[in-house]
Structure 1
């Protein structure tokens, strides 16, 4: 039986389009807003969601997502409450793929076996662990796959062909192509480089290949989804949240939260329309 991730990509392929993934950080700026944002992403037409696990030292992320993690941690977000958000989301949205993305340190502290069991119980579909190389697969990735979680691998422009088999050995769900050399949200890749990378990776896997890092506009999302199997947008969405926190539209917390959700949903709707067009 196909999982939610497989079903979502198959649906997009049947509609002759790429898939849209959006990243937000759990607890940014608070748990209640995150829950509302997740609902808004579903309504806006995403195909899958990446939920960031806040960490104090997100080394692969640029200033926007670093700041989002700090806001989340300041609001009291933990890995336990992140999983609670995931569990609540799954109850409201039984079919939308949800992938947890982040770093290994919080998971190690939480306990690998406990984290895997709680992720499965919460209805999480997959994991993207940025700083855990394939040489450490036995630590988390293989037990996670055995428990039914997809392990999404990152491939960068500097991942050479001889390295790809090791990276892809335990990969499932989809492959995340990091289209720029550097941190999130700071630069955009040319369409030709995305296309060349896609063809190179496609020779070694049948999994969907999505492009992320540096995608900030509907036009860039559409281009990335045209030259690969989908696009992931993170920093541009996180920037909207940050702007809503820094410049509240209302002194009323609930009203300001609703305004942030509306702005994010409107932007993601534009991304979705561009990809579908």
Structure 2
């Protein structure tokens, strides 16, 4: 009988790399996508804080894991510290870094915990259904559209409502999550597409038992900000912004 040990070893090596700080190669945009915000849709129910707020990724944690467990969130001002950070479930520790274009915050990166890991740590009622990074982008885009309408900027609101949110599948390795990628791009359909790259380790999977604890139940996201989406909608920025997690990434205002 052929042994499965070599295959299992390869899988473990790939998943363990999810916790390291090495960066991978750029990845192409997702082929599948979903409509952004329809012209008549309402403003979202979730109020996300400002990108630099220490509560931003805490709010993302609550939203994505459907949890009321309070997190202690750390906001880094250097990318290497973010790359090497590891969220933990109990106490719930999460991590955040903001990428800037000049003085404009364009992306927030969050490292949080999965709903399944929180249930394991705090009990079955501690978290609900798991959501993924594109769901957060939909909420942020709804905020953008609503704010533009309230400011009587109907043309920009219409353009933002037509943005397409790619249904990006989360990666399983940190190397892929940390690779450069376009935060937005103009697709072959002529529409502006939004990327929401992330990482997800399924805590309920059989593989979790053989993984180091620091890898288990991790959920990471790169998220376009309302400020960036607004600039795109108003034509103040062009689609195609490539973001990076390199050491010199601009993670303070005016940093690049």
- Provide the TM-score with structure 2 as the length reference: 0.24
Higher RCO (CA 8 Å, separation ≥ 6 residues): 2
- Provide the TM-score with structure 1 as the length reference: 0.23
Task: Give the structure with the larger helix fraction.
Answer: 1
Which is greater in Rg?
A: 2
Task: Give the structure with the larger strand fraction.
Answer: 2
